[in-house]
Chain A
């Protein structure tokens, strides 16, 4: 059992499991699945600063979701701890391209060149970790959702705005992958 769990899970196990969270949250408490709302709740809780967007009862609206988010962090700990050989299944094509771009170590979850305390204040580190993080926060708030809220919940409930958002996600992702990262790496 532990051995099966410790291997990376294939998409046809992980995808359906993720999809189940949408009806589950609706059935349990009429809750809409969406992770990025938490970033808004955190702002509302910590630094509302009189901004209209953050003026609401974050405990009433978002405490359940913040608990869900805290769970995700613990889940990352448990999953990461049970996890063996992540990255081993990476497509050979991707491995070749990334090596050509100068990523030396393809083991682990993130490339050390970009994500490391010692690289944080280099140009690369600043753009990727701090700039990328900022864009994630700004973009999801502007778009009104992220991969969970738009791609999974929005698309599965048949919402056209979510389809536009997902096309935007890919538009941005492709620009960063083919034009920004090759320069940075």
Chain B
């Protein structure tokens, strides 16, 4: 079999993204109301989704580690460890993201899915998010990590 070309592979990731976007949308993870419900502890829905996703993913990762298989493209599978450093970036950055998550009712994936599902004004939030990331890049040398 000939190795897949890069374009083939990119198409594959595009198709996977479509699948992921459909799940996000159909499970109402992209709903501002659902995120409010979660932060107000009124429903198990979002906790069930995140919890079962973590569980399935953990089993998958454990199996991959156990079998020590390579990826289909021949690369050795690496799970890059996240450096702890002083831990500030996780606490402060995490809290700032949490504020944004509850205000917009969307984390990055859903922000894009919302545009697709017809909430066009979210394009402005996406542009603002890109600006936020850019400003972080600019300030990075001066922030505690």
Chain A interface (Cβ < 8 Å from any Cβ of B): 5, 8-33, 35-36, 38-40, 42-43, 46-47, 51-54, 63-65, 67-83, 86-87, 89-91, 93-94, 97-98, 106, 109-111, 114-117, 120, 127-148, 150-162, 164-177, 180-181
Contact = CB atoms under 8 A, between A and B. Distances in A.
Contact of B28 (A86, A106, A157): A86
Nearest to B11: A67
Contact of B40 (A13, A93, A161): A93
Contacts of A160: 84
A89 B29 CA distance: 12
Q: How large is the interface on B (under 10, 10 to 19, 20 to 34, 35 or more residues)?
A: 35 or more
A143 B23 contact: no
8 contacts: A24-B60, A69-B109, A75-B19, A91-B43, A97-B42, A143-B90, A176-B99, A181-B36
A18 B20 contact: yes
A177 to B, nearest CB: 4
B72 A133 contact: no
Q: Which of A19, A137, A153, A181 has the most CB of B within 10 A?
A: A137
Contact of B13 (A68, A81, A131, A137): A68
Given A86-B31, A109-B117, A153 B122 contact: no
Nearest to A74: B18
Contacts, number: 513
A15 B37 contact: no
A151 B54 contact: yes
A134 B129 CA distance: 4
Interface of B: 9-40, 42-58, 60-61, 63-64, 69, 71-73, 75-84, 87, 89-109, 111-122, 124-138, 140-141, 143
Contacts of A97: 40, 42
Interface centre among B9, B77, B94 (most CB of A within 10 A): B94
A134 B120 CA distance: 17
Contact of A134 (B26, B78, B128): B128
Contacts of B23: 9, 14, 17-18, 75, 79
Q: Which 3 residue pairs of A and B lie closest in terms of their CB atoms, listed nearest first?
A: A75-B21, A71-B17, A168-B94
A interface secondary structure, majority:
helix
Contacts of A150: 90, 94
Contacts of B82: 144-145, 154, 159, 161-162
A135 B77 CA distance: 32
A79 B119 contact: no
A168 B55 contact: no
A89 B137 CA distance: 40
Contacts of B75: 29-30
Contacts of B132: 39, 133-139, 141
A22 B102 contact: no
A105 B39 CA distance: 19
Given A40-B137, A73-B113, A79 B16 contact: no
Contacts of A127: 103
Given A26-B71, A171-B95, A91 B37 contact: yes
A172 B18 contact: no
